[in-house]
Amino acid sequence: MSAAVHRYLLIAITGLPLGAFLVLAVLAWWGRRWAERTISTVVTLAFGLATVSALVLAGVMACGGERVLTVSAGTWSSPGEYRFDLLLVGDRLSISFAVLTALLACIIGVFSQRYLHREPGYLRFYLLLTLFGAGVEVVALAGDLDLLFVGWELAGLTSALLISFFHERRKPVEHALRAFLTYRACDVGLLAAVVWLHHTTGTSTAGGTAGFAAPAATGNAVLIGVLLLWASMGKAAQVPLGGWLPRAMEGPTPSSAIFYGAISVSLGPYLLLRTESIWAGAPAVRIAIGVVGALTVVHVALVGRVQTDIKSALAYASMTQVGLILVEIGLGLRYLALAHLVAHAGLRSVQILRSPSLIHDYHHLERAMNRPLPRTGAHLERLVPGPAQGWLYRYALERGYFDAWLRDHVIGGFVRLVRRADSLDDRWAQRLSAGRAPARTGLADRREAVTAGHGGSPGTRRKGQES
Amino acid sequence: MKATARPMRETTEDRRTDIPDLVARAARLLPEQPPLQAFVHHNTLHAFEHLPFDDAVVHAARLFGTEPFQSEAAFHSCVDSGRIQQEDLDAVIEPMAADDDVPLVPGGPTRRQFHAIRLRFLLEVPRGPALSLLLQETDQRVRFTARLSTRRRTELLRQARRDWTGPTAPEPAARALQEQLLGRLWSHLEKMAPRVQVVERSTPRRRDQILAVTGLDPDELVHPLLIRLSAAFLDQGIAYWPMPGRHRGFLGAFRRLYGRPGGPPDRFLRGLGAELRRQEAESWTAERTVVWALTELDLPERDWADTIQATLLSLRGWAGMMRQFEHRPDRSPVEAHPARLIDYLAVQLILDVYAARHAVAEHLGGHATFADLDRLSAHGEATAAPAEVSLELVYEAFVLAQVMPVDTAVLADAHHATAWLGAVRSCDAIERRRLLHLAYERRHRVGVLDALAAHQRVATRPSPRSRFQAVFCIDEREESLRRHLEEHFPQVETFGYAGFFGVAMTYRGLDEVRARPLCPVGVTSRHLVVEEAVGAANTVRSRRHTVARRRRGAWSRLIAVGGRTVARGSAVTFGVGFTSFFSLIGRCLFPLRFHRCLRRLQHGADAGPVTRLAVERTSAEEHGDGLLRGYSVPEMVDLVSAALRTMGLNPRSLVLIVGHGSSSLNNPHESAHDCGATGGGRGGPNARAFAVMANHAAVRAGLRDRGIDVPESAWFLGAYHNTCDDSMTYYDEDLIPERCRPTADRAKRAVAAACVLAAHERSRRFESAPADLPLSGALTHVETRTVDLGQPRPEYGHATNAACVVGRRSRTRGLFLDRRAFLVSYDPDGDPTGELLTNLLLAAGPVCAGINLEYYFSYVDPAGYGCGTKLPHNIVGLLGVMDGHASDLRTGLPWQMVEIHEPVRLLLIVEAEPERLAAILREHPALSRLVVNGWIQLVAWSPGSGAMHVFRHNAFQPHTPEITEFPVVGRSAQFYAGKRGHLGCAHVMTASEAVSSEAVPSDAVASSGPVASSEAAPSETLSSGAASFSETASSGASGAGNGRASAGELARRAVRIQELP
């Protein structure tokens, strides 16, 4: 088959969802409103065709014996000697992931037509789903880390917006913000890696079967590898950044399924697989990846065991498997990792989609077994000595105290620092404007009022602790 | 808890406050909802039933921050659509007619006229800053409001010209006139507006104070932890590793866990471990801990009650669930943990103490105390909220003075301006919504009552020789099934009886692990009935069946539970991960076909064994669980005779006893769709047990002794109706005697056809069902909903329920009630003393009212009383749902269940004389409370004269019919075809007129086409009959009607004939 067909198929995989999004979004911007069926049909059709394109392309390439297909969809910009190409690469890895994404998005599109029927945010949901799908396809197929970064950001933004889908309540918004901040913090890693890659190798483009060019110096490779690992840790919800994942279960169930069961958490491992050529030469990075994955598995296996709501339990189950995938990547088992990733995405999506039927299923299970379901966790209690059990349980219930550390000691520390600077600022302003009463606006305001009220003899009253 | 056990708490102090008592009092306000498996509908505002409905909803709205009625805008759209009519509005302000001769202000409207205009005038008054903005930035104060009629506008300009003070030489411009008149009007009103102190309603909780003073919410710290702990404690089997030490109770387990050293690093929890260890060492009781915490929070003792109440209400779903476990451990789905509400309160207060201290230290400095908070907030209140003119009131009065026929100059008089403002204030938003609600209910009431009356005039009273009889649950969802059955097979007699059929038993099915009560919530079951496999030939088969099922069970459990762990999880992922794509595609794209395939794979090989219910008690031995094994013959005779006498059922040949339930996927609230009369269970076993009893030879003999003759040829057949997919299951069919088989087969065919028709009728309410859904597609459509993982509306359940008719079916037979009425069979002729009626009302009244009121509240405030939208629901602990990740346990009904509901109070129509009902009310305070306080509307329907009396203002007052039109159709389908919304009542001829049996092909349904294309109504004969009927009626010719009511007679009664759609 001709190269032109290949080219169009490859572009169609990302182009169709993107096109569907643009059509819907632009017309909606102009106040156009459609029937629910029209919206979901457009989106489903786009992803369905993208799936077909990807499958056809995979078939054609397999028959033709081609391993890598590189297509340039144009040039972004070329400042100075640099060129930013819109380069798409189709190889075994990227096409598998592209098929997975398009297929799941298509299925979720069909599913949500019933699930979100009569929901006021119907259009918004589909727009975000489409943009997310398009973003992930860009990540999957990007032959250029700059382009990958764009897709990466789109996926992050849309997933945060979908967490806050029910924005009339407070919690979804808070949790979306948390996910968003985690993403932002980690995206710095990706950005830095891209910049450093440009700096050291002069290009961030994948070339042929070799993949991305690795920097000559091992030190640079390690640095870039670690930055990429950092970038992937946020999306893959690895220790210690994984706190956002169970909290992300705020949107409608189908969005939770595709994002946090399947695609979004897989982006982390995918990034590492994609960029393997860069850090493959640096064993330190391998070890780091393996260690992060293993730590996550240990932590999450414990924490997940005490979760009492089904969506959190499934979120931790996802983290467990993604941690294992990272370990596999660290060990260099890339095909195993890819298979694991795909299988996990399918299984977890089904489980999350089925989660509202849990009570129904539990009854059926009980009736099928014809006895009360056996108690789980007994072997844990046998293995772990008594006092340690309580400690371990509390550790798990408090999710490893990561949240508290993050809130009180990392962010809290920062806030306290700012406050101190603020009161220092006040004091200096007072001293400089000696005599004239300055307008105090700082946070220290209230404290002063209280001190003044006490007439300078403050004292706490904590009876309970004294007795 | 004696003084000696309380070394720190001053032994000298004579403690007046009784903590458990305070907790018990606060606990009444908590949601009454049990774990979801045993969902039972109940009045959401159960705790307020001692108050009149109007007061209760307003009071509760203030307490919970919820809505008392529908919004004014919603009511106004009802006025616009004709759902509320002028007569209704007039009727609800009728009581004001008494003192209505004096206008409010000279020349202005009287109080009644004022209300009449006000109720029709939707004025949205912006609040606070929005109003200031409106007044300052727009021309509201210098231009007439845009919604003036031309006449009123001219009139106002005339007044302005009359009162004009200024140069008259050039005719003052309209603008200037408006400006002057409005300027004056505004200042008059503003001057006289009462000054009100804006009091922010807040509880004495420290948290509210801290939030007001610092903007930091200590609950943000406490709630996540408390939710985690409560969920872990109450969990019924989701967590792989359950919480250790649950046998110690909630407080004990909490102390054990968090009292360990090396506790959580949260700053606000500093010192918690040491404190908990101390409390545990001194073995403090929960009560003492509560006292300690309240003292620690530095709250005066008089505020304790309110603090405890507000604290518990701050996370009321979880608190309520703790209370449910405490009071009804028998209802816990798997394991009843020793929960106590006071333990929960103690834990919450301990955390509150730490969070409050932390917040105060953080924001006011480490040395600040709670007393500082009092000072700061007291200080704040004094300056921030002086007595202010309520701008909202002035604005409302200002606009209304323009709209209403009043002379604006009159308001210059201080006295009149005050009167005007007073009138505006007396008709505030709550009052208007109350009145509009009454009008809304009135229209519905009038519609139903008049239709019932008209139906009596239209319907002839045939006494068909019934081929078989069928008893259904009183459930309003069975109304359509009964009607269609009667339409399709007129030689049937149907009855309605509470769906447990008097068999208040605890039941364990063959497959089931634990027995569960199948009886109304208020009844305690004393009998255990077990399903047993029978027959030697069955054992091998049944064993194979069991083994196969077990294997499947173990497999799905491995995937579900093992899939969440590490090693098994990976194995499962690799093992079934790829195949799950098939499941994903199948479930999402072809839910029904996929489900059927799975079914075939699972059940193809082995059918279940033949079983029997062990209904008869063979030995009198006690088993220690307080339950008798089965029923003795006299008990059975009592039970069966009560049912037969109450319904007035004289068994002839075959009697179907149909229980019901509902099964669906993607529906945590599945059991809310089950039968309310069995306490949220499925009523099939009850029907089966009743049939077994009634077929029992000894029971028949016993019945004969009591004068109830059940002929030898009669046979009772138990059945189960799944209201979600409209399928029927029959029990013990192999026992049907040979002589009854033909009848049974005919009955089953007829019921199956009726199921199709009923499914078609209810599909019209589903927006996703096409408007021209063919009859043949109806069952597939509803079946797909049942098995679809993506379907949040498997069925609409009790939504739209509005009325309950207690009386003979012959008086409602052939009346289209739109699946909105509970139908209770009651034969007044067989009840000279009123004893049967009393029992009926005591059982059915509260059950129906509970269903109705739960729907009312969940609809009126879906987020406050209901549990919001289903989409983000997350099942926790197998007992309830949370919104998303970690929220309060959400109680009430999800929006998807109630969205089509019409929030009216239950209209309970009883076929009895008003005197008899009044006597019953006098004797039964519980029922009387519901009726007198207006939680249900009671109507007495005289069995003889047909006169109706509505219970209002403590007396039965006669109802005068006002609707003269009453549609008559041939078949139900002609009435509902193509319509989605609520329908009124109609007379359906086929069911009520005796049609010769040959005219009704009983299997016509399967072959018919789409209903919307009219002639395709199931039976051709029938629709042509209807067509000819409408012709003769409209031409006014008399005497044409094949022995039915003559058309001329009908026309004289002003019956409008509904043309075929």
Task: Enumerate the residues of chain B whose CB falls inside 8 A of the CB of residue A370.
Answer: 511, 513, 546, 549-550, 553
Chain A residues within 8 A of B229 when measuring between CB atoms: 397
- Number of domains observed in the structure of chain A: 2
Which pLDDT band, with edges at 50, 70 and 90, does B538 fall under?
A: low
Is B1016 a residue whose pLDDT tops 50? no
**Backbone torsion region of residue B819, taken as left when φ is above 0, otherwise alpha when ψ lies between -120 and 50, otherwise beta:** left
* A contacts of B375 (beta carbons < 8 Å): 453
What is the rounded distance in angstroms from the CA atom of residue B1052 to the CA atom of residue B903?
Answer: 35
Chain B residues touching residue A467 (CB < 8 angstroms): 8
Which of A126, A302, A347 to probe by mutation at the B interface, max B CB count within 10 Å? A347
Cβ contact A306–B241 (<8 Å): yes
Cβ of A166 within 8 Å of Cβ of B561? The answer is no
pLDDT confidence of residue A191: 95
The residue of chain A with its CA nearest to that of B583 is A350
Domain boundaries, chain B: 3-30+204-382, 99-198+387-427, 459-534+610-664+685-709+719-799, 536-603, 964-1052
pLDDT of residue B3: 38
Place of tokens 């049939």: B691
Token digits for B697? 């030879």
- All residues of chain A having their beta carbon less than 8 Å from the beta carbon of residue B364 are 446-447, 450
- CA B636 to the chain's CA centroid: 33
Q: Taking a C-beta distance cutoff of 8 angstroms, is the pair B209, B307 a contact?
A: no
Is there a domain that residue A446 lies in?
Answer: no
| C-alpha span between B321 and B234 (Å, rounded) | 9
Which of B246, B289, B789, B791 to mutate against chain A (most A CBs within 10 Å)?
Answer: B789
Q: B235 and A361 in contact by Cβ < 8 A?
A: no
Residue A172: closest CA among chain B residues belongs to which residue? B884
Residues in chain B closer than 8 A to A404 (CB atoms)? 264-266
Sign (positive or negative) of CA dihedral B845, B851, B852, B857? positive
Nearest-CA distance from B526 to chain A in Å?
24
Mutate to test the interface with B, among A256, A350, A371, A461 (most CBs of B within 10 A): A350
Q: Answer whether A450 sits within 8 Å of B368, measured CB to CB.
A: yes
A366 vs B contacts (CB less than 8 Å): 512-513
Res B642: pLDDT: 93
Contact B574 A112 (CB under 8 A): no
Residue of chain B whose Cα is closest to the Cα of A261 = B564
- List Cα–Cα distances, B858 to A356, A396, B69, B177, in angstroms: 20, 36, 11, 50
List pLDDT tens digits, range B384-440: 456 777 889 999 999 999 999 998 889 999 999 999 999 999 999 999 999 999 999
Least confident interval from B278-292, B340-354, B547-561, B730-744: B547-561
Q: How close, in Å, is residue A153 to chain B by CA atoms?
A: 24
State whether A329 and A407 are in the same domain: no
pLDDT category, B461, cuts 50, 70, 90? low
Clarify whether residues A407 and A338 are in a common domain.
Answer: no
Q: Are both A276 and A403 inside the same structural domain?
A: no
Interchain CB distance below 8 Å, A356 and B572: no
User: Under a CB-based contact definition with an 8 Å cutoff, are residues B323 and B27 in contact?
Assistant: yes
B8 and A467: CB-CB below 8 Å? yes
Residue B182 has pLDDT above 80, yes or no: yes
Q: How confident is the model at residue B370 (pLDDT cuts 50, 70, 90)?
A: confident
Q: What pTM was estimated for this model as a whole?
A: 0.91
Q: How close is the nearest chain B Cα to the Cα of A156, in Å?
A: 19
Q: Are residues A314 and A425 in the same domain?
A: no
Strands (E), B763-838: 803-807, 815-816, 821-825
Q: What pLDDT, on a 0 to 100 scale, did the predictor assign at position B199? A: 62
Q: Is the pLDDT of residue B1061 over 50?
A: no
Record: contact B883-A166, CB cut-off 8 A:
yes
pLDDT tens digits, residue range B895-954?
A: 999 999 999 999 999 999 999 999 999 999 999 999 999 999 999 999 989 999 999 989
Residue A370 belongs to some domain of the structure: no
**What stretch of H or E contains B375?**
helix B370-384
Q: Does B1053 have pLDDT greater than 90?
A: no
Share of chain B above pLDDT 90, in %: 62
Shortest Cα distance, chain A CAs vs residue B368, angstroms: 6
Chain B nearest-CA residue for A36: B768
Calpha distance B322→B326 (Å, rounded) = 6
Residues in chain A with CB shorter than 8 Å from the CB of B295 are: 463
**Quick check: B352 pLDDT over 90?**
yes
Q: Which residues of B are annotated as a binding site for Zn(2+)?
A: 473, 475, 660, 675
Kindly state whether residues A406 and A281 are assigned to the same domain: no
10 Å Cβ neighbour count for B632?
Answer: 15
The answer to whether residues B110 and B102 touch, using CB atoms and an 8 Å cutoff, is yes
Residue A163 counted as domain residue? yes
The reply to whether A26 falls in a domain is: yes
CA–CA distance, A464 with B272 (Å, rounded to integer): 11
Q: Provide the b/e sequence for B451-464 (b: ≥16 CB within 10 Å).
A: bbbbbeebbeebee
Judged by CB atoms closer than 8 Å, whether chains meet at A380 and B560 is answered as no
- The pLDDT value given to residue A274: 92
Tokens of B148: 């003036």
Binary contact (A251, B872; C-beta < 8 A):
yes
Stretches where chain A sits below pLDDT 50 are: 438, 440-467
Examine residue A129 and state whether it is found in any structural domain, yes or no: yes
Q: Pull the structure tokens for residue B978.
A: 């193509």
Q: Annotated binding site: which residue ranges of B?
A: 473, 475, 660, 675
Residues A331 and A419 in one domain: no
| Number of inter-chain CB pairs under 8 A, A vs B | 339
Closest-CA distance of chain B to residue A114, Å = 6
CB-nearest partner of A359 from B37, B366, B513:
B37
> Both tokens of residue B229?
């702990």
Q: Which residues of B touch A347 (CB under 8 A)?
A: 563, 572-573, 576-577, 580
Choose the mutation target among A106, A260, A327, A359 for the interface with B, i.e. most B CBs under 10 Å: A359
Q: Residue B536 — very low, low, confident or very high, per pLDDT cuts 50/70/90?
A: low
List b or e across B378-390, with b for residues whose CB sees 16 or more CB atoms inside 10 angstroms: eeeeeeeeeeeeb
Residue A376 covered by a domain: no
Determine, yes or no, domain membership for A63: yes
- Across the interface, of B243, B367, B369, the residue whose CB is closest to A393 is B243
Under a CB-based contact definition with an 8 Å cutoff, are residues A349 and A258 in contact? yes
Testing the interface with A: which of B374, B793, B885 to mutate, by most A Cβ within 10 A? Answer: B885
Going through B159-309 in order, the beta strands assigned E by DSSP cover 195-197
Task: Pick A172's closest partner by Cβ from B229, B554, B884.
Answer: B884
Beta bridge partners of B681: B675
The amino acid that residue B166 corresponds to is G
How far is the alpha carbon of B569 from chain A, nearest alpha carbon, in Å? 8
Q: Does residue B382 carry a pLDDT above 80? A: no
Nearest alpha-carbon partner for A236 in A300, A301, A318, A168: A318
Angle of the A310-330 helix axis to the A334-354 helix axis, nearest 10: 180
Query: B335 and B236 in contact (C-beta within 8 Å)?
Result: yes
Quick one: which of B830, B986, B983 has its CA closest to B911? B830
pLDDT digits (tens, 9 = 90+) for B947-998: 999 999 899 999 999 888 899 999 999 999 889 999 999 999 887 654 433 3
pLDDT tens digit sequence for B261-288: 888 888 899 999 999 999 999 999 999 9
Q: How many Å apart are CA B527 and CA A371, to the nearest integer?
A: 22
Give the range of the structural domain holding residue A425, as residue numbers without chain letter. Answer: 398-434
What distance in Å separates residue A157's CA from the closest CA in chain B?
19
Same domain, A92 and A186: yes
Test B8 with A250 for CB contact under 8 angstroms. no
In angstroms and rounded to an integer, the radius of gyration of the C-alpha atoms of chain A is 26
Nearest residue of chain B to residue A162 (CA atoms) = B872
Q: How far is A329 from chain B (nearest CA, A)?
A: 15
Which H helix or E strand runs over B613?
A: strand B611-614
Q: How high is the pLDDT of residue B604?
A: 56
Dihedral sign computed on CA atoms, order A339, A340, A342, A347: positive
B293: closest chain A residue by CA: A464
pLDDT score at A385: 84
**Residue B211 C-alpha, separation from nearest chain A C-alpha, in angstroms:** 14
Average per-residue pLDDT for chain B: 86
Q: B338 to chain A, minimum CA–CA distance in Å?
A: 18
For residue A66, the model assigns a pLDDT of 79
Nearest one of B495, B484, B511, B483 to B687, comparing CA atoms: B495
Flag whether A439 is in a domain: no
CB B804, CB B908: distance < 8 Å: yes
Q: Is A313's CB within 8 Å of B238's CB?
A: yes
Nearest CA to A118 among B789, B870, B75? B870
Whole-number pLDDT of residue B1030: 34
- Nearest by CB to A107, from B585, B876, B885: name it: B585
**Could A450 and B364 be called an inter-chain contact, meaning their C-beta atoms sit closer than 8 Å?**
yes
